[in-house]
Structure 1
Amino acid sequence: MILYPAIDLKDGKAVRLLHGEMDSATVFNDSPAAQAAAFADAGSEWLHLVDLNGAFAGTPVNGAAVEAILAATNLPAQLGGGIRDMATIEMWLTKGIARVILGTVAVENPDLVREAARAFPGKVAVGIDARNGRVATKGWAEETDVMVTDLAKSFEDAGVAAIIYTDINRDGAMQGPNVEATAALAQATQIPVIASGGVSSLEDLIALRDTGVISGAISGRALYDGALDLSAALKALA
């Protein structure tokens, strides 16, 4: 199972939100590039980047910070937030992003996900963010009637590289991930599932790993707060 350290970008800085609320942002590093380099130095294999402003704006906002991260490290990075058309997908992949994450558009324009996955094999992931089993979009501001499992299964034949599943109620709350719901999703679909939201300890990571069906986990606040030691976590998962 791969651990993806998260760098959430707001106004050019590395922050964490609580329950996805933009007003509850805590700044952890004024230099996202320096943060990325620190994660690389600790032995990370991947980075998980989110353009928070972009998720609300519907178009990239923190592009300069993303490019600085790409320049500061050789690690592959996946990026979500404000990626809602083919031109933006192509732009980010050309700049060196290893995998784009399509969230809102996966609900509103699933054909774009299919087109992108065909055009860029292995480079398109779907971000499914949920409250109580239902998908939320537009930076978690809008809830839909779409069920998580239904959305995931609809992309099984599309060539999607991964599904990043976030339980919004757990995100940034340091209460542990929703292991049961994440494992159930992973068992219901053939697409690899990456857990996001609430990973706050080594025990959480081990619980996700021990399901045997979850391919990755994203952690942010716990790494910044020191509740999770990155080097120790990477060793435990190796």
Structure 2
Amino acid sequence: MILYPAIDLKDGQCVRLLRGEMEAATVFNDDPAAQANAFQSAGCEWIHLVDLNGAFAGEPVNAAAVESILAAIDVPAQLGGGIRDMATIETWLDKGLARVILGTVAVENPALVREAARAFPGKVAVGIDARDGKVATKGWAEETDVDATDLARSFEDAGVAAIIYTDINRDGAMQGPNIEATAALARAVSIPVIASGGVSSLDDLRALKACGAPLDGAISGRALYDGAIDLAEALKVFKG
């Protein structure tokens, strides 16, 4: 399994939100490139990036910060937030992103996901953010009646590289991930699933690894910044 350290970008800074509330942002580092480089130096094989402003705006906002990160690291990075058309997808991949994450458009324009996955094999992931099993879009600001598992299944034949499944109620709350829902989703599809939201201890990582579902990895943010998870130990858990 892969540990994806998260860098959530708001106004050019690394922050963490509590349950997706932009007002509940804690700044952890005002130098995103240095933070990304630190994760790489510690042995991380991927970096997970989110343009929080972009998720609300519907277009890239923290492009300068993302570009500075890409210039500072050699490991692959994936980015979500505000990526809602082919031109933006192509621009980001041209700039060196390994993978774009499509969230809102996966609900509103699934044909775009399919087109992008065909055009850029292995470089398009779907972000499914759910509250009580139902998908939320536009930076989690809008609720839908779309079932998370149904949405995941609808892309089975699309060729997407991964599904990033976030339980919104757990995100940033340091209460542990929703292992049951994440495992159920991973069993329901053949697409690799990455767990996100609430990963706050080494025991959480061990539980995800031992859940019996074919998870690709897990994303952790706040717990790494707070020191609740020792990064070196976390990498050992997933590699061991």
Classify the TM-score, shorter chain. Answer: over 0.9
User: How far apart are residue 236 of structure 1 and its match?
Assistant: 1.7
Which position in structure 2 is the counterpart of 1:74? 74
Distance 1:92 1:164 in 2: 18
**Paired position in structure 2 for 1:161:** 161
Letter in 1 for 2:232: S
Deviations 1:160-193 (A, max 9, x none): 0000000000000000000000000000011110
Q: TM-score, normalised by structure 2?
A: 0.99
Structure 1 match to 2:39? 39
Query: Which consecutive unaligned segments of at least 5 residues does structure 2 have?
Result: none
The superposition leaves residues 36-70 of structure 1 with CA deviations (integer Å, 9 ceiling, x where unpaired) of 01101100000000000000000000000000000
Match of 2:113, as an amino acid?
A: V
Percent identical among aligned pairs is 82
The amino acid of 1:85's aligned partner reads D
Counterparts of 1:16 and 1:192, CA distance in 2: 25
**Root-mean-square deviation (Å):** 0.5
> Counterpart of 1:144?
144
Equivalent position of 2:232 in the other structure: 231
- Paired residues in the alignment total 238
Structure 1 unaligned blocks of 5 or more: none
1:62 and 1:193 map into 2 onto residues whose CA distance is 26
The SS at the match of 2:215 is: coil
Partner Cα separation in structure 2 for residue 173 and residue 210 of structure 1: 22
Distance 1:108 1:117 in 2: 16
Residue 7 of structure 2 corresponds to 7
SS of the residue 1:59 aligns to: coil
State the alpha-carbon separation in 1 of the partners of residues 141 and 200 from structure 2.
24
Distance in 2, Cα, partners of 1:215 & 1:86? 26
2:232 and 2:62 map into 1 onto residues whose CA distance is: 28
Matches of 1:237 and 1:121, distance apart in 2: 26
Partner of 1:205: 205
Give, in whole Å, the separation in 2 of the partners of 1:119 and 1:51: 23
Pairs within 5 Å for 1:1-238: 1-212=1-212, 213-238=214-239
Shift, 1:235, TM fit:
1.3
Give the 3-state SS of the residue equivalent to 1:90 in structure 2: helix
In 1, distance between residues paired with 2:43 and 2:197? 22
Provide the TM-score with structure 1 as the length reference. 0.99
How far 1:211 moved relative to its partner? 1.8
Please report how far the alpha carbon of residue 214 of structure 1 lies from its aligned counterpart in structure 2 after TM superposition.
Answer: 1.2
Cα distance in 1 for residues equivalent to 2:215 and 2:180: 11
